[in-house]
Chain A
Amino acid sequence: ETGVTQTPRHLVMGMTNKKSLKCEQHLGHNAMYWYKQSAKKPLELMFVYSLEERVENNSVPSRFSPECPNSSHLFLHLHTLQPEDSALYLCASSQEPGMPGNTIYFGEGSWLTVV
């Protein structure tokens, strides 16, 4: 138990569906992140939120839409995805977003399959 909870753990969706991934952190952290992990590729940072404000968006297609209603919750809204978007999506949190020496705490991930 890392203190970062992701739901659902597994999701299968069609290319025309709309779904959301949810993340909740119980660590009192100020920053939350979405990462994408595909086979044979390095972990890709998608979005960073600091105190509910998006501070980084790494050229992620608009079919991925993040939402951070408060510092404990983070969503990733998905719509009209492509099969190549199938991957493990990891949510993470840390105390301070811009501080070197940050340790990042990851959730267990949501396995997404787009069919």
Chain B
Amino acid sequence: SQQGEEDPQALSIQEGENATMNCSYKTSINNLQWYRQNSGRGLVHLILIRSNEREKHSGRLRVTLDTSKKSSSLLITASRAADTASYFCATAPYTGGGNKLTFGTGTQLKVEL
């Protein structure tokens, strides 16, 4: 199975609620990144968390990383309809290969009015 696997595959919430997505991976990493993709468009980088960090914030985004469990979570607070998109985690290996980002299959988030 893939290095990064997101859970759940799909998530539907009401505007104003918080959305939490999880990512699990298998091998040691240097960093983990989250990307967002609007339907039929390219991916946009959201946030990067390094293996020696446990939590990181950016606006309404909060990312946690637990290297002992090889998992990460992305929390979007006070969601908006415009947050509707697919969200992907990507892992960079511990040794070399910053270009070897491995992406998961993504979580499709739908935020309803």
Contacts and interface: CB of A to CB of B under 8 A. Distances in A.
Range of interface residues on B (Cβ < 8 Å): 20 to 34
Interface in A36-54: 40-43, 45, 48, 50
Contact of A97 (B44, B48, B99, B104): B99
A95 to B, nearest CB: 9
Contact of A101 (B48, B103, B105): B48
Given A42-B2, A101-B31, A101-B50, A106 B44 contact: yes
Contacts of B2: 42
Interface in A81-115: 88, 90, 92, 94, 96-109, 111
Interface in B1-57: 2, 4, 30-31, 33, 35, 40-45, 48, 50
B99 A106 contact: no
A103 B99 contact: no
A43 B6 CA distance: 13
A35 B98 CA distance: 15
Interface string B79-113: 00000000010001100111111111100000000
Contact of B99 (A55, A90, A108): A55
B61 to A, nearest CB: 15
Contacts of B104: 42
13 contacts: A4-B42, A43-B103, A56-B99, A88-B40, A92-B43, A100-B30, A103-B33, A104-B101, A106-B42, A106-B44, A109-B41, A109-B42, A111-B40
Interface of B: 2, 4, 30-31, 33, 35, 40-45, 48, 50, 88, 92-93, 96-105
Interface of A: 2, 4, 6, 31, 33, 40-43, 45, 48, 50, 55-56, 88, 90, 92, 94, 96-109, 111
